[in-house]
Structure 1
Amino acid sequence: MTAAPHPDPAVVGLQRLVEGVSGLRWNPAQLPGALERLSPLLAAHGGLPGLLSTARAQPRVAEQVAAAFTVGETWFMRIREQLLALPDLVPRPSGGVVRAWSAGCSTGEEAYALAAVFQERGVPVEVWGSDLRADAVLSAQRGEYGRWSFRGVDDALRDRHFERCGEAFRARPALRQAARFLVHNLQDPAPMTGLSVVSCRNVTIYLQPEAVQRVYARLVAALVPGGVLLLAPSDPRPDAALGLELVPLPGASAFRRPAARPEVPRMERPVTPARPVPFTPVPAVPAGPPVDAFAEVRRRAYERPEDPDAQLALALALLDAGQPDRAARTLKFVQTLLDRPDLPEWTLARGQAALAAARQRLERP
């Protein structure tokens, strides 16, 4: 079933801008939260039409608009099996310093984690973290995080690299000196080359298919021959034309740019809008997934924006992750999906029951 176009032409223009600038897959559930984050810009430009007019003429403003639609979920030592294996996987440059890039690093926890795993082994390292969101980059530069950023992390490991600062934890000087941060759009060429490691995890699940492969081509081109690319298990797989070698790891995997294949094919195709996703019936509400399944739940929700089942699962995952505000916004979007006049009665009844159960969980103290 094809989704009906949005009745507001300005929202349609916003969708085209976001897709074109960032390659993001459009998800209507994100619109309320994104507009809230854009409220200062909207006020400064007299509303959405005025902001779009400015964004079309000023690329940096356009990137600010697109950045409001990105997802900033991350934490220190996420997918630890990949990180712990890195010091034994990556090539050591002649200068002795391993250079790494955390692409789409959000608030910086994963960039600091990259630096920490090499410092644990006494390996000199320089890590660049980049993100489209300027506010996230500023947060990464501060290097201060709450306990939630260290969920599942051993206290001893945390305390070796972070010092207490009231209720927060601040990156220690050695870690801060190893990490630098900048604003960067993954649709642009890589900001640096000659890298031993590129990590881009739980980022491309939000991109349109052709944008994904263009990003991968640029990430691989930034690697030295023999360099390692880290993706999350839920991320789309790289195109075979890139010639990457799969490196199995305990509980995870990585990709290596072959030493004998220095050239990376160009994939400079234009971004095309994502195809509409067919509607599927809503089953009974499931129990919330564990935190380690969160990425897979988000991937399904972003690939199936018109599917109430996928959106309900996302709301429950957000509740389990301690994000009730985002869960509430997602449940509101589920209600709009269930308000469609073409739904069969039995589908509507089951969906409303599942929605009611999810709302009870949200309201539970």
Structure 2
Amino acid sequence: MKFETLAIHGGNLITDSQKPVIQPITLSTTFGHQEGSLIYTRANNPNRMALEQLLTQMEMGTAAAAFSSGNAAGMTVFQALPLGSHIIAPADMYHGLKKLLVDVFKDKLELTFTDLTDIENLKKCLQPNTKLLWIETPSNPLLKISDIKSLCTVAKENDLITVCDNTFATPVFQNPLKLGADIVMHSSTKYFGGHSDILGGALITKQNNSFWEQIVNIQKTGGAVPSPFDCYLLCRSIKTLAYRMKGHAEHAGVLATFLDQHKQVERVFYPGLTHHPGHEVASSQMSGFGGILSFLVKGGPDDADKVISNLKYFNNATSLGGVESLLERRAAVEGPDTKTPQNLIRVSVGLEHLDDLLEDMESALDKVS
């Protein structure tokens, strides 16, 4: 099946004798004891089975595990590592996961954060106890691009497990498992949900090995799993993922070009721009450049806040991937330890009419110029 067909049909697991076109929600927390019984919904549920089946096919893996949030998915990977393991991760790693590593795992794991857009930095950071390489591309919020294939080659030469956060690109535009990654991670809250009303996370593996078995054990024993209703909603939303992503990417590309030419904008971060330092690598491993961009407003944080306050159709809110356009001054959200420029605005470009978005942004920028 092509991706669009898979997204529509891959998540239906019909057991009802009436053959409903859409899989019903199975709310029961427990199942009668019999051969093959699911037993208890923390361990498994028909709607979670359907979602994990769909995720596996979308990322072209062998198995998937769904979680209650993206951070729960990431935390499960970290928990599955031996005590004292060394992790190499991007310096601009998503703030929520980086905070999780620094605050929760600081006494359990060794951490090195570096710029993974330069493969030599990975080689310099290797230690005898290095177990995991974490890749995030495009990165959040600077849209840096890392060469997945090259990084995974070095990782394999040194017996590292490689996990790639594919949230920004989605499998519509990028397939890290095909580029050498061992596991793909998603915050399914974002583009998979697509409507800013579902919290979830996911891991998809290339191989069903002992490390993956440990991840599944933590998932089922720890119980940080999505509800049947959330699984149902995700399967429903993913049916339109391919078409939503095409719209998000088209709008982001046009808006990035507009901002790149505006006198009140200092710099635009979007891999679809030909002068973006990661454009060539992105073009080689992505079939589209996604719906997220960031830009620096000329001036300081007050000027960026003024732009935000003057907008009508861009909601000042955290998160991304919904049909509505969202933005925020990212440094204000990340807190005092942030390395993000104070005048940077991250934009999740939505599916409103493009003319309305462009007019709105132009008006807001002109008011502070």
Relative CO higher for 1 or 2, CA cutoff 8 Å, sep ≥ 6? Answer: 2
TM-score (norm 1): 0.34
TM-score (norm 2): 0.33
Normalized per residue, the structure richer in helix is 1
